[in-house]
Protein backbone atom coordinates (compact mmCIF):
# COMPACT_ATOMS: atom_id res chain seq x y z
CA UNK A 1 0.00 0.00 0.00
CA UNK A 2 1.44 3.40 -0.90
CA UNK A 3 2.58 5.55 1.97
CA UNK A 4 0.51 8.62 2.75
CA UNK A 5 3.64 10.46 3.76
CA UNK A 6 4.61 13.08 1.20
CA UNK A 7 8.35 13.17 0.76
CA UNK A 8 10.09 16.02 -1.05
CA UNK A 9 13.70 16.76 -1.78
CA UNK A 10 14.77 20.31 -2.55
CA UNK A 11 18.07 20.99 -4.26
CA UNK A 12 19.80 24.33 -4.49
CA UNK A 13 23.23 25.32 -5.74
CA UNK A 14 25.06 28.34 -4.42
CA UNK A 15 28.66 29.30 -3.87
CA UNK A 16 28.47 29.72 -0.11
CA UNK A 17 32.19 29.66 0.48
CA UNK A 18 32.96 32.09 -2.35
CA UNK A 19 35.64 29.87 -3.84
CA UNK A 20 34.09 29.78 -7.30
CA UNK A 21 32.69 26.28 -6.88
CA UNK A 22 29.09 25.92 -5.79
CA UNK A 23 27.89 23.83 -2.91
CA UNK A 24 24.61 21.99 -3.29
CA UNK A 25 22.18 21.99 -0.40
CA UNK A 26 19.82 19.02 -0.25
CA UNK A 27 16.78 19.46 2.00
CA UNK A 28 14.47 16.60 2.87
CA UNK A 29 10.85 17.35 3.67
CA UNK A 30 8.09 15.15 5.02
CA UNK A 31 4.53 16.43 4.76
CA UNK A 32 5.86 19.93 4.20
CA UNK A 33 8.18 19.94 7.22
CA UNK A 34 11.92 19.94 6.72
CA UNK A 35 13.41 16.85 8.33
CA UNK A 36 17.06 17.55 7.67
CA UNK A 37 19.45 19.20 5.29
CA UNK A 38 22.94 18.46 4.13
CA UNK A 39 25.38 19.95 1.71
CA UNK A 40 27.41 18.36 -1.02
CA UNK A 41 30.62 19.87 -2.28
CA UNK A 42 33.34 19.36 -4.83
CA UNK A 43 36.28 19.57 -2.49
CA UNK A 44 39.04 19.03 -5.04
CA UNK A 45 37.30 21.25 -7.65
CA UNK A 46 37.56 18.74 -10.46
CA UNK A 47 33.94 19.36 -11.47
CA UNK A 48 32.66 16.21 -9.77
CA UNK A 49 30.83 16.49 -6.48
CA UNK A 50 32.37 14.10 -4.01
CA UNK A 51 31.75 15.04 -0.38
CA UNK A 52 28.56 14.86 1.67
CA UNK A 53 28.34 16.76 4.94
CA UNK A 54 26.88 14.86 7.83
CA UNK A 55 25.65 11.31 8.00
CA UNK A 56 22.71 10.73 5.77
CA UNK A 57 20.60 7.59 5.54
CA UNK A 58 18.64 7.37 2.31
CA UNK A 59 19.06 3.82 1.05
CA UNK A 60 16.72 1.95 3.36
CA UNK A 61 19.55 0.13 5.08
CA UNK A 62 19.64 1.46 8.64
CA UNK A 63 22.53 3.73 9.48
CA UNK A 64 25.02 5.58 7.35
CA UNK A 65 27.11 3.71 4.83
CA UNK A 66 29.16 4.70 1.80
CA UNK A 67 26.17 3.70 -0.30
CA UNK A 68 24.10 6.50 1.25
CA UNK A 69 26.67 9.08 0.21
CA UNK A 70 26.89 7.53 -3.26
CA UNK A 71 23.13 7.85 -3.79
CA UNK A 72 23.11 11.51 -2.69
CA UNK A 73 26.15 12.31 -4.82
CA UNK A 74 24.51 10.71 -7.87
CA UNK A 75 21.46 12.92 -7.33
CA UNK A 76 23.58 16.06 -7.03
CA UNK A 77 25.66 15.22 -10.09
CA UNK A 78 22.47 14.81 -12.14
CA UNK A 79 21.14 18.10 -10.73
CA UNK A 80 24.28 19.94 -11.75
CA UNK A 81 23.80 18.82 -15.35
CA UNK A 82 20.62 20.87 -15.50
CA UNK A 83 21.18 24.22 -17.18
CA UNK A 84 18.43 26.40 -15.79
CA1 LIG B 1 35.61 16.40 -6.87
CA1 LIG C 1 21.86 3.62 5.05
- Where are the domains positioned within the chain? 7-79
Q: How far is the CA of 51 from the centre of ligand 2 (A)?
A: 16
13/31 Cα distance (integer angstroms): 23
What per-residue confidence (pLDDT) applies to 84?
Answer: 79
Q: How far is the CA of 60 from the centre of ligand 2 (A)?
A: 6
Q: How far is the CA of 20 from the centre of ligand 2 (A)?
A: 31
pTM: predicted TM-score of the whole model, two decimal places: 0.87
What share of residues in the chain are helix, strand, coil (percent, to 5)? 15, 30, 50
The ligand whose atoms approach the alpha carbon of 65 most closely is 2
What per-residue confidence (pLDDT) applies to 58?
Answer: 93
Q: How far is the CA of 61 from the centre of ligand 1 (A)?
A: 26
pLDDT digits (tens, 9 = 90+) for 13-68: 999 889 889 999 999 999 999 999 999 999 999 989 999 998 889 999 999 999 99
Amino acid sequence: MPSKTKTEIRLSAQDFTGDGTPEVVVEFYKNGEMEYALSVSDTNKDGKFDTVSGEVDVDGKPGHQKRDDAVVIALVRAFMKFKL
